[in-house]
Amino acid sequence: MSAKEAINVESAWEKVVAKYREVCVLRRESKLAESERVLKDDLPGVIAAWSAANPQPIAAKKTELEAMFAVERKRVDETRMLQRMLAAQMNEQMLPAMHARVAEEVKHLFAEQMRSFQLAASAESKGAARAVASLTPENFTAPLNNAPLGLPLPSAMPTRRKPNFNLARAA
């Protein structure tokens, strides 16, 4: 077999392994219909292409395929087990630690924000206190156009007539 033929056989073999691994993963994920589709529609074609490119006898090809099937099933099973172990470790150790760290950071940022609000409120209240201290009775009795606060005087406010709800008098 030439180097070019060996590369073709290896490339075809990698496609067979990838398709069978896909079947195994889909089954592990309980995607049975999709797994069956790949098993019936895709896998036979890549196996046929590999078999056509491989000059070995049919018995050797079958043995190689069966060995690969066993290895890939075991690999997918072990990977799934590792995923479960990692997920359990994350739930038990990593996530609580991350939660505590994020909570501490949020608490720190909240405290900083509250301090800045308190400083702003303090400065605003000092300004309001100065404004109130500067008020004099003249500020409230000055004409509307000269009033520093622009507040109308009670005597300058328009009055409205009250409605008459006495039905006996209206008739």
Q: What is the pLDDT of residues 110-133, one digit of tens each?
A: 888 888 888 888 877 777 666 666
User: CA geometry: angle at 152 spanning 151 and 155, to 5°?
Assistant: 145
Q: What global pTM score does this model have? A: 0.54
- Provide mean pLDDT across the span 1-7: 79
DSSP string, 107-131: HHHHHHHHHHHHHHHHHHHHHHHHH
Q: In the prediction, which pLDDT does 122 show?
A: 81
pLDDT for residue 31 is more than 50 = yes
Better pLDDT: 166 or 8 = 8
pLDDT for residue 143 is more than 60 = no
Which amino acid, 105? E
Q: Where are the domains of the chain?
A: 3-94
pLDDT for residue 105 is more than 70 = yes
Residues 6+ apart with CB under 8 A from 76: 21, 24, 25, 28
Secondary structure of residue 160 in the 3-state scheme: coil
